[in-house]
Structure 1
Amino acid sequence: MSEPSKLTPSSAKHPKARLAPSVDSVTTIASDGSRRDIHPADVGGRFTVARRWSGWALIAFYLVLPWIPVNGHPAVFIDIAEGRFHFFGYTLAAQDTWLLFFGLTGLGFALFFLTALFGRLWCGWACPQTVYLEHVYRLIERWIDGDAPERRALKEAPLTGAKVGKRVAKHGLFIVASLLITHLFLSYFVSLPEVWHMMSAAPGEHWAAFVFVFVSAGILYFNFAWFREQLCIVICPYGRLQSALTDDNSMVIGYDTKRGEPRGKLGTPDAGACVACNRCVQVCPTGIDIRHGLQLECIGCAACIDACDEVMTKVGRPKGLVRYDSFVGLAGGRTRWVRPRTIVYFILLLVGVAVATFAFSTVKPAGFLVYRMSGAAYFVGEDAVRNQFMVRLVNKRSIPATYLVTAEGVPEGVHLTGFDAPVQLAAQAEQVSPLVLSVDRHRYTGAFHFTVKVEDVDRTYELSRVVEFMGPDPKLLREDEEERVEHARESAGSKKEHDDDGK
């Protein structure tokens, strides 16, 4: 490993001057602790082209989802107002959101498994931070300010009309891009027509959405216009997790030290393959020197691979001095793909997928809940013992549905009130109705369980809930009944004596 870089006399006078990257400090932090801007140079190559196409495909995927109707709703629609989550025709109600836990844990296990195999492939190729920064905001910046040397020169240039014009144009487009992204993001929660309606109305009519859009756009603008790679280095925990998720057999971006060292210009006796051009440093979006080894700031974007391959081609040397490989492979060994770490992560992934599949398979096209009315658990009248319930039905489908609600396992003599006729619900509607059960006092034998069942009119599926009918101790109820009868007899006898005396 090369020695840490030191301040030169010129850099001591100018603490923000460019320094050679070091593993002892973050390249984006100047010697005085201030922020140093990174202006990565343009690069071409097979990985750059592949990342560009994959990035644009991901952006297009994000842009078109709210426009694609599936079963009457956008392909992905988190309907906050109605408490529904629509995902490519699959609808979850609010009470089904617990299933998202399995989806998220499944994604987590998948990320663990992929990281153990391929390192930070997600960060460099699919993370929204990288995708939007590289393929939207830096594209705008290159278009207006020019390549890396031009951008650095413009930053150091005095304030002129031309510089002000470029700054206004660039940041204006940054703001427009941020507003477009946040408006589209809002459409995932309220739909595109509703977003357009909100945009056409006065801000005060939808002040919450108005504040959300402009605050979110402000955060995006701050992030992509200034904060940039600091999000990956300072805030995102994934870079710190990679040291725990990877090992020497994980596929990462690395520098072939055996082949490249010692570095030297072309024609230098006994020099390695590295010509010390520092092209790999110039194109790095986080400003590191990959020749120092795998570092926290590395997002696995492969820009340094394309840059080094380009130089190797020009000097007539084999490509691959910087490449995707494992530490074992870079040292001349053979990478082991199957190892305890990957086996454990793969098993966890399979378990997560199996549990998630089972959990989602239990979701029905209707939601159903039975709960006891507020107040006493039961009521004892002169003639009967009564329990009162509320039944909540939710039609999750995008078409009307008719349901049959019945109670099974109810003892003889129990009377039901409510749901005498089928329940008709509009698409994605819900209804809450009472269900009252009563049993004559002389037939009451104690608490019992029964089943409330819901079927659609075509009987394609059914839902059921076991409910308990509660009441007093039958012995106490009989004693109370006997006291009532005795009291009635005594009252009848007293009345008769009173009538006889009157006669």
Structure 2
Amino acid sequence: MKTPVPFVRPNRDFVTTIREDGSRLFLHPADVRGLFTQARRWSGWLLIAIYLSLPWIPVGGHPAVFLDIADRRFHLFGFTLAFQDTWLMFFGITGLGFGLFFITALLGRLWCGWACPQTVFLEHVYRRVERWLEGDAVRRRQLDAQPWTALKIIRRGGKQVIFFVLSAVIAHLFLAYYVSITELWTMMSDAPATHWAAFVFVFIFTSILYFNFAWFREQLCIVICPYGRLQSALIDDHSLVIGYDATRGEPRGKLGTPDAGACIDCNRCVQVCPTGIDIRQGLQLECIGCAACVDACDEVMDKVHRPQGLVRYDSLAGFAGGRTRWLRPRTIVYAVLLMVGATVAVWALSTVRPANLAITRLTGAPYFVTDDVVRNQFLVRIVNKTDHAARFVITLPGAPAALMRTGLDEGVELAPLAEDVRSLVLQMPRSHYEGGFVLTVRLADEAGTFSLERTAQFVGPDKELLDEDAREKKEQHP
């Protein structure tokens, strides 16, 4: 029987999960109970339930969240955006960015420990399966040290099979956000060659998820994710973080040690850490703010009849004996930017219409003059952005009464997400022509539930030149 891997005391100068020879040290975080652990578990299960259920919940005839790439439509809780409205994604992306900046400046890495999909699925799904099959942290380390027996093969092999199935389920549900549940079931029922692109995507995505959650794990947070490195620029001494009260805890010593601080150096906070750090060494890049060390330390403090809070949520200013300032320039600026962005986003969403209208002048001469009229020619492009057929009507409100129009007189019938380009010829009798003017082109549905307006410039020659030309022709042909 191999010797179990000894306890490795973390050092903030190097990554705990990498040994001196460069090999990987696999972590087996110990189980922990407590207020934060229970709250984080419930919030994690809630997030997972939301992720799994959104493609199944119909809202307005479509799934609650359905990013229909094939038909260029995005259905979000009953609100439909056409492909032409993808510019609104700018507000979503920047809103997430400023929201994350604000939350980090205020509450530290709350996102990482409580809501990041990496943490949620790893801690509340994959590691739960691992604990169920292989036992607690001590038993898992003992299993690592054991030779490959039939029982070890069954346990490890069964775990890997379950991991792969879970990864496949997550990957399929992810695809459902883009193709819908019904279409996903059709793809799964047919031969892989029938929908080879979707099959390849699911296989690759499943493999990536399996590799990540079965082997890579905390290395994604430490090596790949840039958020931990950004935190040094986003937080300050008044941001809420998880830390160790060195004033109260030092010097460390076992129970009964004279003049020792509150910390009994049991290393329980290290044993439960999912990234293998020692929070007593200060705030570190690897800390994801999961609060496992808080519950672990509070549990130990209860057992030794000492006050809780040796490891706790607080600001660096609070740990130093000062007062945390929640309102400060950093949080105020982030909050203002977030509110401004939200206001502009609401306004932008209010401008979304179920159709699109564009007017361009026909190539060639900007206008034509005959003996009777001045003529302008336009191309009108109409797009139906809804998921049902619609009939649209073009009107020219406020146009001069003498203006004659050819084209789009009877309206346009368009299929869902269809578009049509029609010619619109406008003619002004020379006797009523007073020079160029701006006209309004209005697009409305037949029921009159919405309208959309664009402006166009009716151009022509200078009226004095036109009148002089008319006089010359009259003199030539009396």
Name the structure 2 match of 1:120: 109
Does structure 1 residue 258 correspond to structure 2 residue 247?
A: yes
Question: 2:396 aligns to what SS in structure 1?
Answer: strand
1:372 equivalent among 353, 360, 379: 360
How far the C-alpha of 1:39 sits from its partner, in A, is: 1.1
The amino acid across from 1:345 in the alignment is Y
Aligned pairs (5 A) from 1:424-503: 424-425=413-414, 428-439=416-427, 448-469=437-458
How far the C-alpha of 1:281 sits from its partner, in A, is: 0.3
How far the C-alpha of 1:471 sits from its partner, in A, is: 6.3
Aligned pairs (5 A) from 1:263-302: 263-302=252-291
Name the structure 1 match of 2:193: 204
Q: Is the 8 A contact 2:242 2:291 kept in 1?
A: yes
Taking only the aligned residue pairs, the percentage that are identical comes to 61
How many angstroms apart in 2 are the aligned matches of 1:101 and 1:268? Answer: 60
Question: 1:460 aligns to what SS in structure 2?
Answer: coil
What's the CA shift string for 1:56-115, capped at 9, x where partnerless?
000001111011111101111111111111111111111111112112222222221211
1:219 equivalent among 185, 203, 208: 208
Question: 1:44 aligns to what SS in structure 2?
Answer: coil
2:225 equivalent among 233, 236, 252: 236
How far the C-alpha of 1:418 sits from its partner, in A, is: 2.7
The amino acid across from 1:69 in the alignment is P
Question: 1:459 aligns to what SS in structure 2?
Answer: coil
Question: 2:277 aligns to what SS in structure 1?
Answer: coil
How many angstroms apart in 2 are the aligned matches of 1:220 and 1:474? Answer: 72
How many angstroms apart in 2 are the aligned matches of 1:165 and 1:378? Answer: 80
The amino acid across from 1:388 in the alignment is F
How far the C-alpha of 1:470 sits from its partner, in A, is: 5.6
The amino acid across from 2:131 in the alignment is R
Query: Rg bigger for which structure?
Result: 1
How many angstroms apart in 2 are the aligned matches of 1:241 and 1:280? Answer: 25
- Structure 1 runs not aligned, ≥5 long: 1-13, 490-503
Residues 244 and 480 of structure 1: CA distance in aligned 2, closer, same or farther (over 3 Å): same
Q: Is the 8 A contact 1:409 1:449 kept in 2?
A: no
Q: Is the 8 A contact 2:407 2:425 kept in 1?
A: no
How far the C-alpha of 1:380 sits from its partner, in A, is: 4.7
How far the C-alpha of 1:372 sits from its partner, in A, is: 3.2
How many angstroms apart in 2 are the aligned matches of 1:335 and 1:388? Answer: 64
Aligned pairs (5 A) from 1:338-353: 338-353=327-342
2:15 equivalent among 12, 22, 26: 26
Question: 1:185 aligns to what SS in structure 2?
Answer: helix
2:380 equivalent among 390, 401, 406: 390
CA RMSD of aligned residues (A): 2.7
How far the C-alpha of 1:409 sits from its partner, in A, is: 4.9
How far the C-alpha of 1:378 sits from its partner, in A, is: 4.8
Instruction: Choose 330-339 or 83-92, whichever is displaced more.
Output: 330-339
How many angstroms apart in 1 are the aligned matches of 2:389 and 2:314? Answer: 56
The amino acid across from 2:383 in the alignment is L
Aligned pairs (5 A) from 1:66-105: 66-105=55-94
Q: Is the 8 A contact 1:377 1:470 kept in 2?
A: no
Q: Is the 8 A contact 2:67 2:178 kept in 1?
A: yes
Name the structure 2 match of 1:501: none
Name the count of aligned residue pairs: 471
The amino acid across from 1:157 in the alignment is Q
How far the C-alpha of 1:469 sits from its partner, in A, is: 4.3
How many angstroms apart in 1 are the aligned matches of 2:161 and 2:288? Answer: 28
Q: Is the 8 A contact 1:395 1:425 kept in 2?
A: no
The amino acid across from 1:111 in the alignment is L
Residues 32 and 474 of structure 1: CA distance in aligned 2, closer, same or farther (over 3 Å): farther
The amino acid across from 1:255 in the alignment is Y
How many angstroms apart in 1 are the aligned matches of 2:59 and 2:33? Answer: 39
What's the CA shift string for 1:355-404, capped at 9, x where partnerless?
1111112222x1212243775365758777451303213143x5654432
Q: Is the 8 A contact 2:402 2:429 kept in 1?
A: no
Does structure 1 residue 188 correspond to structure 2 residue 207?
A: no
How many angstroms apart in 2 are the aligned matches of 1:149 and 1:470? Answer: 85
The amino acid across from 1:288 in the alignment is I
How far the C-alpha of 1:445 sits from its partner, in A, is: 6.9
